[in-house]
Chains A and B, each alone.
Chain A
Amino acid sequence: MPAHHRRRQVFRYLPVLPAVLLLLVFLAGPVLWAFHASLTNAGLTGRHARNPEWVGLENYQRLLQDPVFPLSLALTVLFVAGSAVLGQNVLGLALAVLMRRARPVVSATVGTAVVAAWVLPEIVAAFAAYAFFSRDGTLNQLLGRFGAAETDWLYAVPMAAVILANVWRGTAFSMLVYRAALNGVPAELTEAAHVDGAGAWQRLAFITLPVIRGSIATNLMLVTLQTLAVFTLIWVMTAGGPANGSTTLPVLAYQEAFKFGDIGYGTAVASVLILIGALFGAAYLRLLREQKP
């Protein structure tokens, strides 16, 4: 390529510069800084805030010995598997399938209710979920009508409460993805199966689901990534408690860094979370490339 040609090429891409600078400074920068800081004993205040010392892999060794870290890793897996993979994904698909069979006015009304929980600002949804599950909240009030004893859900089963709350909050996304996907299934296909005597379940299992499997994979990946990052909902509902009973990795990273002032240790937790996210992100890109011939 002649030099003046290459110069023009560079010149042409000049407008990309502001975006690239923003992304480098505020996204790539923090990620690199996280890996660096996780190898130091940087603190929030005091001596280690001004002059952090290099401690090598000490923070990561601490992670492995700290009983809270494996617990929090397990809770994160439970949260993602329960609320995203099982809850949002399956309920979203079920809603989308049911909506095709129900009266239009019913599916429109229910669709609005589901989407409303998703459109509300996260903190408002978190307050509503907190009130719903709290000791003198709506859930106990309802169960009381059936004679059930009052339970403090947020203390007794904090993970179940935040998982259900996140299903409530996030199912709309999967529902919208699957509604679009189902609209793309050729009607002749299911019609033909119907004529050949396949029942509703058989058509779903052997025709519809295989046709939309690309959407299923994409949706699973996206809801996993979104759920991995959930902080506000858990923070407002349980603050990670009781006794770390609902401390997922984002909550743990926040607590270590800001409550206990240990930036180095907190960024080590954050680094693990970033790595998990990057892994899922890479898998997601692969999936997209495979889907596009």
Chain B
Amino acid sequence: MTVPKQAGRPRRRDPRTTRTPGGTWADLVLLLIGACFLLPLLWLVLASLDPAAGHAAKVPQQPGLDNFAAVLTPELLFRPLWNSLLLSAGTGMVTLAAAVLAAYPLSRYRSRFNTPFMYGILFGTCLPVTAIMVPVYGLFVQLQLLDSLPATVLFLAATSLPMAIWMTRNFMDDVPVAVEEAAWVDGASRLAALSSIVLPLMRPGLGVVFIFVFIQAWGNFFVPFVLLLSEGKQPAAVSIFSFFGQHGAVAYGQLAAFSILYSIPVLALYVIVARGSGNSLALAGAVRG
């Protein structure tokens, strides 16, 4: 496309105040795409309020909280959620502890060992976890760890460790060594300096890592589905599935209500992190099981 050369260059436009003619089109197209993204979620909300819910999204004839009331029982909701909490908080703590310990030498000492280690770890994040589930099941059978909550926590921690070590090391790199040196001069050991000076300074970062791992574990279906057999130990991600299978044909409203109650904690945590860091990309890859 050629445009006749003008004698005087047009004045620069500020893209924030001057809207191009394409802007309205962009609005329309975006709203259309947004509507497509919203539709499946709409079903979730409408069905949860509809005692006679089916597959289709429709405004309930007699909206009510009956579905929520029906799932608010110890076996259906509270025990699975408690199991989810144990699993996710346990995974978060084990991961964070191991990641902080590992990040310290990687951040503070120079060695030929660091770069290959970090790249090896990054490579670990690339392995498709679903492909590992069959061999992990085999391993758990041999070690007699099947149906063990602590062992499942350790496995989940291992899968989230690579990303957690990367993030923790980056956060630790941001804490200047100088503040630690002051503590050493006063006679503090490395461990004391780490726990009393470095960790408090990187508390927001550690919060992000913990929430990141927590959300990942909370939403994980496949790992507990394969490794935890007894109903009493299964987290909400798995109990919701048996719910679907057993009462699927009749209780869509309850399924939707359960889904919402189960999703609220991670939605809240996500908002906290997105607000805090101003960059939701910090959670990239974390939320997907």
Q: Contacts A98-B30, A110-B31 hold; do A270 and B131 have CB atoms under 8 A apart?
A: yes
- How many Å lie between the Cα of A273 and that of B129 in the bound state? 10
B56 and A281 form a contact (CB under 8 A): no
Q: Contacts A25-B158, A198-B1 hold; do A30 and B105 have CB atoms under 8 A apart?
A: no
- How many Å lie between the Cα of A198 and that of B1 in the bound state? 7
Main secondary structure of the interface of A (DSSP, over half): helix
Interface string of A32-76 (1 = CB under 8 A from B): 011001000010000001000000000000000000000000000
A123 and B221 form a contact (CB under 8 A): yes
Q: Contacts A15-B105, A122-B289, A277-B128 hold; do A128 and B44 have CB atoms under 8 A apart?
A: yes
Q: How many residues of B contact A (CB 8 A)?
A: 101
Does B65 reach chain A (CB closer than 8 Å)?
no
A197 and B134 form a contact (CB under 8 A): no
Q: Which of A245-286 contact B (CB under 8 A)?
A: 249-250, 253-254, 257-258, 263, 266-267, 269-271, 273-274, 276-278, 280-282, 284-285
B244 and A127 form a contact (CB under 8 A): yes
Q: Contacts A117-B41, A122-B221 hold; do A12 and B281 have CB atoms under 8 A apart?
A: no
**Given the complex, which residues of A lie within 8 Å of B266, measured CB to CB?**
119-121
Chain B min CB distance to A189 (Å): 13
Q: Contacts A16-B102, A27-B158, A173-B288 hold; do A280 and B126 have CB atoms under 8 A apart?
A: yes
Q: Contacts A23-B161, A138-B39 hold; do A232 and B221 have CB atoms under 8 A apart?
A: yes
A132 and B289 form a contact (CB under 8 A): no
Which one of B2-10, B71-79, B195-203 is at the interface?
B2-10
- How many Å lie between the Cα of A115 and that of B97 in the bound state? 30
Cross-chain contact of B37 among A23, A117, A140, A180 (Cβ < 8 A): A117
A contact residues, range: 35 or more
B222 and A231 form a contact (CB under 8 A): yes
Q: What residue of chain B has the Cβ atom nearest to residue A263's Cβ?
A: B138
Does A200 reach chain B (CB closer than 8 Å)?
yes
Interface string of B10-32 (1 = CB under 8 A from A): 10100100001011001101110
Interface string of A217-256 (1 = CB under 8 A from B): 0000010011011111000100000000000011001100
- How many Å lie between the Cα of A257 and that of B9 in the bound state? 69
- How many Å lie between the Cα of A119 and that of B41 in the bound state? 12
Q: Contacts A16-B101, A113-B41, A197-B3 hold; do A173 and B284 have CB atoms under 8 A apart?
A: yes
Q: Contacts A22-B98, A170-B288 hold; do A12 and B109 have CB atoms under 8 A apart?
A: yes
Q: What residue of chain A has the Cβ atom nearest to residue B270's Cβ?
A: A119
Does B280 reach chain A (CB closer than 8 Å)?
yes
**Given the complex, which residues of A lie within 8 Å of B256, measured CB to CB?**
127
Give 10 new A-B contacts, CB below 8 A, not counting A26-B154, A30-B136, A131-B55. Answer: A15-B101, A20-B102, A33-B135, A101-B26, A113-B41, A116-B41, A119-B267, A131-B40, A230-B130, A232-B222
Residues of A within 8 A of B (CB): 9, 12-13, 15-20, 22-23, 25-27, 29-31, 33-34, 37, 42, 49, 91, 95, 98-103, 106-107, 109-110, 113-125, 127-129, 131-132, 134-138, 140-142, 168, 170-171, 173, 176-177, 180, 187, 191, 195, 197-200, 202, 222, 225-226, 228-232, 236, 249-250, 253-254, 257-258, 263, 266-267, 269-271, 273-274, 276-278, 280-282, 284-285, 288
Pairs A–B under 8 Å by Cβ, sample size 9: A19-B165, A23-B124, A27-B158, A98-B26, A110-B31, A118-B287, A121-B263, A122-B219, A231-B130
